[in-house]
């Protein structure tokens, strides 16, 4: 199984970068091999979102616009997290009864390939 480069954003504001090969959206826990080489057990409910990224370090100077149209990516949504961060993207399946959902961010030039948003960290989801 391939390792996914991920950046974990916790509800409390912490950020951890690393790799995982055992995240599944129907599981409550998974492991990350973080940047300093330690393997950690992660509880999904502690997270705001999991960002699956192209490059683990990203570009701190990049200004996300979330304005791209992506054909075949699903329904366009605007997500407002509890900390008021807003992300626009596309979802193929969304249910507030599930633990979370995958979205494709509407900024194809950005570092994020896809995002797993945790429903308990979301204030509002609006289809646009």
The CATH number linked to 91 is 2.30.30.100
Given a contact cutoff of 8 angstroms between Cβ atoms, the answer to whether 81 and 48 are in contact is yes
The DSSP code for 120 is G
Q: Say what the pLDDT of residue 31 is.
A: 96
pLDDT at 1 over 60: no
Name the domain count of the chain: 1
Give the whole-angstrom CA distance, residue 68 versus residue 88.
9
pLDDT in tens, 45-64: 999 999 999 999 988 899 99
Q: Which domain holds residue 76?
A: 4-127
Q: How many residues does the chain have?
A: 128
User: pTM of this prediction?
Assistant: 0.94
Given a contact cutoff of 8 angstroms between Cβ atoms, the answer to whether 29 and 9 are in contact is no
Q: Say what the pLDDT of residue 36 is.
A: 83
Q: Say what the pLDDT of residue 60 is.
A: 86
Q: Say what the pLDDT of residue 37 is.
A: 83
Q: Report the greatest alpha carbon distance in the chain.
A: 41
Given a contact cutoff of 8 angstroms between Cβ atoms, the answer to whether 88 and 76 are in contact is yes
């Amino acid at each position: 199984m391939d390792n996914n480069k991920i950046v974990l954003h916790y509800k409390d504001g912490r950020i951890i970068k690393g790799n995982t090969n055992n995240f599944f959206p129907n599981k409550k826990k998974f492991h990350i091999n973080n940047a300093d080489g330690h393997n950690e057990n992660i509880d999904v409910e502690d997270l705001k979102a999991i960002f699956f990224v192209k490059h683990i370090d990203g570009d701190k100077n990049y200004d996300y616009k979330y304005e791209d149209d992506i054909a075949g990516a699903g329904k366009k949504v605007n997500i407002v997290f509890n900390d008021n961060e807003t992300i626009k993207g596309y979802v193929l399946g969304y249910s507030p009864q599930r633990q979370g959902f995958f979205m494709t961010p509407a900024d194809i030039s950005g570092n994020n390939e896809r995002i797993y948003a945790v429903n308990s960290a979301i204030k509002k989801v609006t289809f646009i």
